[in-house]
Structure 1
């Protein structure tokens, strides 16, 4: 899903780091699985070759996280670029140390789960283990601090995402601490291998999921909020849609797979179309009366406009449903009301939602009072 954006915006550091983070995060889980470790060792013919592969991927993932956070919170300034270059030097050095130490060391026994503790005291191989653990813990600590500080600088979904990232990277730090504690215990002649082989993997899995959610929240949160708001508005306008539905017109329905926002667009379009079909029954006197009463009651101009239009539409819908029982208002007052309605809709965004909210709870047919008002307006 991210490849099109990478193809068009590959020059942007944030885009490259976001794609790298997704790719390396997935690769880390895939290559760290014991069956994959064994398969790679067999393919290469080098015992424990998967160890530097997984550790290199992990370092690359940490670097991608750091670069993304730096660009995310620091912007595109020169100071951010210097920090990003510094992180790249640090993690390139860590990867080089991992490869160098593994090349110089000897790890003849294949270990699928407990490589860290099994070779904790082995010359050079211990350097592989310490290099990747320190690199991982430095990244987790730095990102936790940056996200913690950044929380006060942002709002809305970005703030939520940063809080989630703080939790995720604390768990990543806990993973590194568990691994390093087990390794240090081996150095001291003790056995705390369960911290590395039993406790650390589930911590890494949970932390990885939480970090992924943290990075997704600022991207998907606004879209989710938009769809939820559209879904709520879809039901808010239902009363108005049902009121004007008898006016007839073309049937405009959203497809089954349509999103809430698309469904709202279809319903608004159909409602607008049927409102305009009611315009021969519009009475500007009814609208003005309700509008002026709303202003005297202290409502805002927008709410007053919605109150007047809702009263006019309610009366017009009742007239349309009554057929010839009561003659519609004159053409002149209907045209004036129609022009006023269109002007109000142009002046206030999403006015139909307010109109739906202002509709009478129990619409009634035209009363003698309304009929008298119509006669007065016609005269």
Structure 2
């Protein structure tokens, strides 16, 4: 029998929060035994966009939506991985608790009539999974999502002394339910026949980049929102660290390769398996069809591209560039150190931000910013700007083509 495939959706979890390992004893136990994707980047800063990208291996399927709500639809240009797994003989199950986010069905069942299963409390969700593990006749493909770590998601066990305690309890709920899932896999002797893919869909920004009307995610794709934990538990593979770039849209290809199912779907951009090959990861916060934001709006449309060293973002305010490994919160825009001429060339001008010439700057600064570093920035900027602009243009061409077909 083929191995079970379990996706664990770790709601709102980014790398900075996951660094508090003591908050995640159950997840951390399996994490240590897993293939750890240290440079994994989400392709969106909101849940449904990220989920659609992961399930389809393509970040184009929701771009035609002008709003994200009850009218949201999926442009079915390729298959959901769960439809592929079902065709290959898998029993498929999607379960989530608590209830309330019913639009997931639009992402989940675009090629069949199966309903995503909603439970009022997490224990009911666990019981539903247990029923499928007791006497399996076919391998199980499970999507397991406990969204009580979402900033707005309540359940009976999440109430705390105040807002910060309430937020903290969300992580405890996520870890507890994940531990229960692994307990069931061990109870029914299925862990050694199960591949687990766990991922954070996006992070939260607690107003460090402006008030944003109160939003903590769905804002521009700063690194703190898209650098999320991801790992793969595979009973036949040793634990290891993978340190090359992996995007959310790569997960479909990776999982299919692990269960020896060919990935034959045509997608809008190349995707990669665990062997690597990705030079850039792309992300965004709103669909291409959503109206362009204004400077004073709560949500400003933003696109980003990430390389091994740099993170470049484009919004209505222009471009911002960060050294994301040194500055994971994206608080110092490297472009402020330069002036840009009409053809896009950067000229180093530290007086703009440091208010002094380079030779008079503190040694802390000069130990990082010196000619080789400046050269890396000035060479990376035009290349990353070019690929980001191409990414954005492809989005707009896609929705124009979609509209031209009478949709």
Higher helix share: 1
Higher strand share: 2
TM-score bracket, normalised by the shorter chain, equals: under 0.3
Relative contact order: is structure 1 or structure 2 higher (C-alpha 8 Å, sep ≥ 6)?
2
